[in-house]
Chain A
């Protein structure tokens, strides 16, 4: 059975689509809004902004977070900034340019209409955040400051020191707390969504586990919104928070939501290299550092063990400046990451294990002074020193690429609705705006665009266009979902094997990093498709999960998430194997030309939306063709 993918892109010229659509969408009478109950899962930029905005409109909202407070969602860790097409710098920016850069940066694998809307609402986000009291960086004249980011030749990134995500999230969090206090939002902290409930083909609720008491509970709603982030932790080591997981979106997939482009994973070029086997996560050093840092490796292998200060200028290879002179150190993430891998594969990497390149600030410190560099990046330099015990004012940073963001996610139409009616998906959890590669400072923009300015309109249209039969948790679908969650918990606790959850997760991560990481090929991917099911079988036979289900149990939480990663990994690799081209974060070694990625627009200019077909059955591929009306499909060049 093939599902119908209707993107519902409004007709008319690109720049008029959203205005036209806003007028055509149905509205809910103000007095009726409070009769509708909307569930929002996740409290990051997308979830918190959506929950707060819908509550302000008058809807009755419930919001769920696995952390102890909505303020802790992983959006908080975003460092560098948020893009907007304000053109405050008078440097030639415009909505169209932001749109174009984003489509090009995504290697022409995003949906034009969605990206254009994102660029259109970007300016309102900055206005909204300033009004909330987000303390953006400013100039002495009192106006907002900007910095540059990868993949753009204009300076359109707004920032709050190296803590932009934190400040934007606190803005959304405070709006959310304001609505909780008013009674518009009921907050469920330390609750994890473990299943979606679909009644007569329509999303009508979720099943959660209270992570303190272990209580498994059902929640009924008229619409469900997932803002549950990305799946980067499938690799075990990533820059994601330890708790980030794929469970909510993967459970939705198993209930009928198409999962789009899971192979599009972003490897961020500037992270602190792995220090040893004990490594539990990787730490990003903001891309903004590439404004002033120069990336290099020794020209000769023999020099790799020397101190960087002992390597003469002419013996250094500033490979990004050499290969991509117009963008240089600000080349997009996928390109910069692969170039680092290439240098290390050639044996020219530095630091333990030879998996590192230098990010050197000595030129910038010479030009601007250590004080100015400290103002720009002081907190990042401190963080680097705490982790590595090296002072980046004195010696170059060592960096290496790490899994950072996932462009793939649940397939959504122009209204951000998945293939299950009533189930909406926002932020990193959906697939829609970044194509095969996300540009820096665009994740914050998309999360807040979806939550503040898109979903609050489209959810109203959904609610006003449908009638809802009264459903309670006694409904057989709710009872079945509750039962299946409880059974699964009991099964995980009952295996009583000999291996820890983490040991399985690490092994899965290694398979994926080696075979479905920065560079992929058919042989490796096929091997991974052999290895993953074997590991998964062993997991269900030999995992050990101590403790009980009816109390606070972090091992149990991890076990459920890793069990889903074990299945999801296969979907990701299947997608990577089927996409016989290189685009953005998906680099297939078979498809390159003179060392550069080679796209195949004739055969692969489509969104791959995978449909669950049952356990043990191959997922079904559905294609949404990507049509480019305003952008000329071109080979991406940053040379």
Chain B
């Protein structure tokens, strides 16, 4: 274990969604390289509270990189400088003594700031509501092994399903597009036989919701994939575009048959 480091932070502070917000500077004089980034912020906050000041608000929960609740722009990079790493799993050994670090919230029209570094990501839930599921009621399924699924398909589906819904893809995208998030869900379900009946309808509805929420369009910059802590591939966006185009051509309006209910 090496010695402690002095780190200077420039942090976005904003009291509520309508307040203007501004950067404030804090010095963390004794940061251990073994601390996680959020533990470093904990220490800064403890001092602020002891000094009678409001601590820096930031979202976090599991602190093991899976719940998707944390997410900060660190020196302009979503989740900071380490690849495939959420903010909570970023450790201070990635920085050095004397560093200046700028910390901002996710910036996107669809993610309004709630306070300081906390943003509202419920638009992502609404994209799932639009069709990010397989319509199967509890109790109806057949035996799990009655439906063999080739390992390559199951594995690729799992690659897409690994998305933690943190929103880093949106924050990293110059257009603030949520295409990687949406494509991950469309691909997770669309790669499985269970997901086929609703595959094209799902693509149509989820893409429409994405637009409705005010996310930007995808122009395949690839920043999303670079920022994604779970390494979700941009290939899934191509797959989404394919499904969407097919759907736009082939999907028929839902037929209402009187007396069928």
> Hey, which bits of chain A sit against chain B, CB under 8 A?
49, 52-53, 56, 67-74, 76-77, 86, 88, 124, 126-133, 135-144, 160-161, 163, 165-167, 170, 173-175, 177-178, 180-181, 187, 189, 212, 239, 241-243, 275-276, 278-281, 283-284, 352, 382-383, 386-387, 389, 452-453, 456, 498, 500, 502-503, 544, 546-547, 551-552, 554-555
Give the chain A neighbours of B148 by CB distance below 8 A. 141-143
Known contacts A551-B115, A552-B16; A278/B35 CB under 8 A: yes
A76 to B32 alpha-carbon distance, docked (Å):
29
- Is there an interface contact between A551 and B16, defined as CB atoms closer than 8 Å? yes
Of A67, A142, A166, the residue contacting B151 (CB under 8 A) is A142
- Within the complex, what minimum Cβ distance (angstroms) separates A639 from chain B? 34
Centre residue among A52, A138, A279 by max chain B CB count within 10 A: A138
Of A56, A69, A132, A177, the residue contacting B121 (CB under 8 A) is A69
A275 to B36 alpha-carbon distance, docked (Å):
11
- Within the complex, what minimum Cβ distance (angstroms) separates B16 from chain A? 7
Q: A128-B141, A175-B138 are in contact. List 8 more A-B contacts (CB 8 A).
A: A67-B61, A72-B62, A86-B144, A130-B147, A142-B148, A160-B161, A167-B161, A280-B42
Give the chain A neighbours of B128 by CB distance below 8 A. 173-174, 177
Give the chain B neighbours of A554 by CB distance below 8 A. 55, 57
- Within the complex, what minimum Cβ distance (angstroms) separates B122 from chain A? 7
Pairs across A and B, CB under 8 Å, 21 listed: A69-B165, A72-B68, A76-B67, A77-B67, A124-B139, A133-B189, A133-B194, A135-B192, A140-B150, A160-B158, A166-B162, A178-B135, A278-B40, A280-B36, A383-B64, A389-B91, A456-B138, A544-B52, A552-B114, A552-B115, A554-B57
Q: Is the interface of B mostly helix, strand, loop or mixed?
A: loop
> Quick check: which of B43-51, B242-250, B253-261 contacts chain A, the rest being far away?
B43-51
Of B52, B53, B130, B158, the residue contacting A135 (CB under 8 A) is B158
- Is there an interface contact between B133 and A175, defined as CB atoms closer than 8 Å? yes
A68 to B59 alpha-carbon distance, docked (Å):
9
Known contacts A69-B124, A74-B67, A551-B115; A138/B151 CB under 8 A: yes
- Is there an interface contact between B145 and A278, defined as CB atoms closer than 8 Å? no
- Is there an interface contact between B61 and A133, defined as CB atoms closer than 8 Å? no
B13 contacts partner chain A, Cβ-Cβ < 8 Å: no
- Is there an interface contact between B85 and A53, defined as CB atoms closer than 8 Å? no
- Is there an interface contact between A174 and B141, defined as CB atoms closer than 8 Å? no
Known contacts A68-B121, A71-B165, A452-B138; A546/B149 CB under 8 A: no
Known contacts A138-B149, A551-B16; A177/B39 CB under 8 A: no
A446 to B139 alpha-carbon distance, docked (Å):
16
Give the chain B neighbours of A132 by CB distance below 8 A. 133-134, 136, 194
- Is there an interface contact between B144 and A130, defined as CB atoms closer than 8 Å? yes
Centre residue among A71, A124, A144, A554 by max chain B CB count within 10 A: A554
- Is there an interface contact between A130 and B194, defined as CB atoms closer than 8 Å? yes
Known contacts A279-B39, A500-B50; A180/B84 CB under 8 A: no
A503 to B66 alpha-carbon distance, docked (Å):
27
B105 contacts partner chain A, Cβ-Cβ < 8 Å: no
Interface range for B = 35 or more
> Hey, which bits of chain B sit against chain A, CB under 8 A?
1, 15-16, 32, 34-36, 38-40, 42-43, 46, 48-50, 52-55, 57, 59-69, 82, 84-85, 89, 91, 93, 114-115, 118, 120-122, 124-125, 128-130, 132-145, 147-151, 154-155, 157-158, 161-162, 164-165, 188-189, 192, 194-195
A309 to B256 alpha-carbon distance, docked (Å):
71
- Is there an interface contact between A128 and B64, defined as CB atoms closer than 8 Å? no
Known contacts A242-B63, A547-B54, A552-B114; A386/B91 CB under 8 A: yes
- Is there an interface contact between B85 and A280, defined as CB atoms closer than 8 Å? no
- Is there an interface contact between A76 and B62, defined as CB atoms closer than 8 Å? yes
Give the chain A neighbours of B61 by CB distance below 8 A. 67, 72, 74, 241-243
A170 to B184 alpha-carbon distance, docked (Å):
13
A144 to B146 alpha-carbon distance, docked (Å):
10
- Within the complex, what minimum Cβ distance (angstroms) separates B49 from chain A? 5
- Is there an interface contact between B66 and A166, defined as CB atoms closer than 8 Å? yes
A68 to B69 alpha-carbon distance, docked (Å):
8
- Is there an interface contact between B55 and A135, defined as CB atoms closer than 8 Å? no
- Within the complex, what minimum Cβ distance (angstroms) separates A65 from chain B? 11
- Within the complex, what minimum Cβ distance (angstroms) separates B21 from chain A? 14
Of B84, B118, B122, B195, the residue contacting A552 (CB under 8 A) is B118
Give the chain A neighbours of B136 by CB distance below 8 A. 128, 131-132, 175
- Is there an interface contact between B132 and A174, defined as CB atoms closer than 8 Å? yes
- Is there an interface contact between A128 and B139, defined as CB atoms closer than 8 Å? yes
Name the residue of chain B whose CB is nearest to the CB of A136: B154
Known contacts A76-B66, A130-B194; A275/B130 CB under 8 A: no
- Is there an interface contact between B139 and A177, defined as CB atoms closer than 8 Å? no
- Within the complex, what minimum Cβ distance (angstroms) separates B205 from chain A? 10
- Is there an interface contact between B154 and A135, defined as CB atoms closer than 8 Å? yes
- Is there an interface contact between A88 and B192, defined as CB atoms closer than 8 Å? no
Give the chain B neighbours of A128 by CB distance below 8 A. 136, 138-139, 141
- Is there an interface contact between A135 and B151, defined as CB atoms closer than 8 Å? no
Name the residue of chain B whose CB is nearest to the CB of A126: B144
- Within the complex, what minimum Cβ distance (angstroms) separates B140 from chain A? 7
